[in-house]
Amino acid sequence: MPLPHWTLEGLLPPGRLPADLADIYERLVFDAPHQNEREILFSALNSYLGAVARIIPSGRAWIGGAFIARTEAVPSGLDVVLIPDDWGSLKRMTGPARGSLYGLLTLRGVMVGRPAMYLDKVQPVGGLLDGFLCFPGDEETWARTWSDQGGRGFPEVVW
């Protein structure tokens, strides 16, 4: 089912909007200004969701940020909230699998040893997106936060 048309304000209508990657491309890249920049962000999203699906067996992703608005401003990034179906499998992750999961998330205030350095923010996909993990019970908080940003809706991708 394609994403609905833009509102007069250049936003998606309020609510969670079921979509697949083809729907997202059609509305958020093809039907929006700055297609070249949006192509890059879409490629980052596509790669990111592919990596997510290899680590988290099933779940949903909510897409947000400047990427989901149809404005004259050039979108510089996008946000993705991951909502895993099975939290038990994530809790049982150890070693390399846990490291891969953390590599998909935006981290703030990171201290790295050898060489010692402090980073304000570490983002996946070369900083093109912010990835967040929605903990059980926080779904409505995330939904309200994103919907409260000007009454916009957001795509929901299921894998």
Q: Is the pTM of this model over 0.85?
A: yes
- pLDDT tens, position by position, 36-89: 999 999 999 999 999 999 999 999 999 999 999 999 999 999 999 999 999 999
CB contact set of 5 (below 8 Å; sequence gap of 6+): none
Q: Are 107 and 26 in contact (CB under 8 A)?
A: no
Q: What pLDDT is attached to residue 66?
A: 92
Residues 125 and 136: their CA atoms lie apart, in Å, by 25
In a domain, 94, yes or no: yes
CATH of the domain at 75: 3.30.460
Q: Tell me the one-letter amino acid at 63.
A: I
Q: Let me know the angle formed at the C-alpha of 66 by 142 and 138, rounded to the nearest 5 degrees.
A: 5
Q: How far is CA 119 from the centre of its chain?
A: 21
- Does residue 143 lie within any of the structural domains? yes
- What is the count of structural domains for the chain? 1
Domain range enclosing 93: 15-158
CA distance 130 to 57: 20
Q: Is residue 6 part of a domain?
A: no
For residue 148, tell me if it sits in a domain.
Answer: yes
